[in-house]
Amino acid sequence: MKSQNVKKLSVKKIVMTAVIAAASLIAVGVLFLWGVAMPVRNLPEPSGAYPVGTIAYDLVDESRMEAYSADRQHRKIRVQLWYPAEQPDGRPKPEDWMIDGPRHTRAIVNTHGFPPFIWDHTRFMKSNSFSGLTPAEDAGPMPVILISHGWEGYRGLHADIAEELASRGFLVAATEHSYGSAGVLFEDGRIVRSSDDVLPDRNQRDSFILEANRLVKTFSRDNAFLLDQLTLVNSGMPHAGPQRLSMFRNRMDIERTGLIGHSTGGGAMVHFALSDPRPDALMAYDAWVEPVASGALERDGYSADEGFALTRTKLDIPALFYRSEDWNGGINDGYLVPFVQAQDGTEVGLQEIAGTTHQQFTALYMYAPVVRWLGMLGEVDPFDFARRLRMETGAFFSDQLLSAAEEQGE
């Protein structure tokens, strides 16, 4: 009897060992496939001569009430700066690509309908930027470039462009637009997401056009407010934000300001350029420039007559519009092309990039190849295209802003 019990126990142990071994192999296989689908990669290194510093902070616009919230608080946005910096001491670690951490990333992913943990590996993706660095002394007065993301985008999607420009000598400021971003994580721990209440379905034609233009105008005002605040920082006057911003006093060349926008953010930058004399150059990727529908009603102080850029079609600054092949022939394309063609006598260009999607003008390539499998990237090689976009964006603003300063002996 004793030997039979031993035999039974041995068989059971063998079966359990086999099950554990099979489960381990499956787990290893899943992890391998996960690593192939979602590899950990860092932002590409910028090409400029300067190390890059960065700082993120909240800003509250006390002149505006929040239009998208019932609590009637003042409008609040999140901002990140990148700038040319002095060489760091020792060998400090660069900041994470998504500097606000996993909770921010999970909020973004959850808004897009994916399980919140799906992009948790983002926490291991590094940027090329460092906190705590002082601005580079030999950078001179830094031209300012503002970046505005698209509907349900977020500022991290343009961090590669920001780092490239900062490494070349620009101070770059990206706004994360509350209720237009997929998710904003504020310093007090509050998360604000986008929703269908902010931008309804396009099938609701008049409602969609009115709300979309209202959103564009909100983004535009966010950027105008940010430039106001940077102007205060530069002059040494009291301002919102951390005390460390004082290191930028008299370091910015506010007279040379560039604008970058994607999608809704591109439309916002067009609106900003047409409604404010301060911008000096504009670059937009798939800018949303659809005009207000006729007969659209006023709502919460937003008037169709005053609202969107195409009611005044003359740009007075150099501008370069990039269009994805994805948007060729689409609804917005019917407005973007005539708008660019109407810029007679100004330095305004439009380029279509073959093999690209609307999302191609962002850093979503960081999640390749899975985002390609999902149809979010086109036929063009995503890494080659991202490099080209960085180089051409850097060259455009270097020519329009840095070269202009050199010609005047500044």
> For residue 11, is it within any domain?
no
Residue 18: pLDDT band by 50, 70, 90 thresholds?
low
Q: Rounded to an integer, what distance in angstroms lies between the CA atom of residue 43 and that of residue 35?
A: 17
> What's the sign of the alpha-carbon dihedral 252, 134, 222, 319?
positive
User: What is the average pLDDT across 111-136?
Assistant: 91
Residue 261 DSSP one-character state = E
> For residue 55, is it within any domain?
yes
Give the CA-trace dihedral at 288, 293, 294, 297, to 10 degrees.
-120
User: By residue range, what is the domain housing residue 320?
Assistant: 38-407
> For residue 236, is it within any domain?
yes
CATH number at residue 111: 3.40.50.1820
Residue 24: pLDDT band by 50, 70, 90 thresholds?
very low
Q: Is the pLDDT of residue 54 over 90?
A: yes
> For residue 7, is it within any domain?
no
User: What is the average pLDDT across 5-30?
Assistant: 52
> For residue 26, is it within any domain?
no
Q: Is the pLDDT of residue 79 over 50?
A: yes
Q: Specify the DSSP element, H or E, that contains 387.
A: helix 382-397
CA neighbor of 222 nearest in space, from 187, 166, 181, 165: 181
Tally of domains in the chain:
1
pTM: 0.88
pLDDT at 303: 45
Average pLDDT, the chain: 86
Q: Is the pLDDT of residue 295 over 60?
A: no
User: What is the average pLDDT across 230-255?
Assistant: 91
Q: Is the pLDDT of residue 173 over 70?
A: yes
> For residue 87, is it within any domain?
yes
Between residues 337 and 258, which one has the greater pLDDT?
A: 258
> For residue 115, is it within any domain?
yes
> For residue 359, is it within any domain?
yes
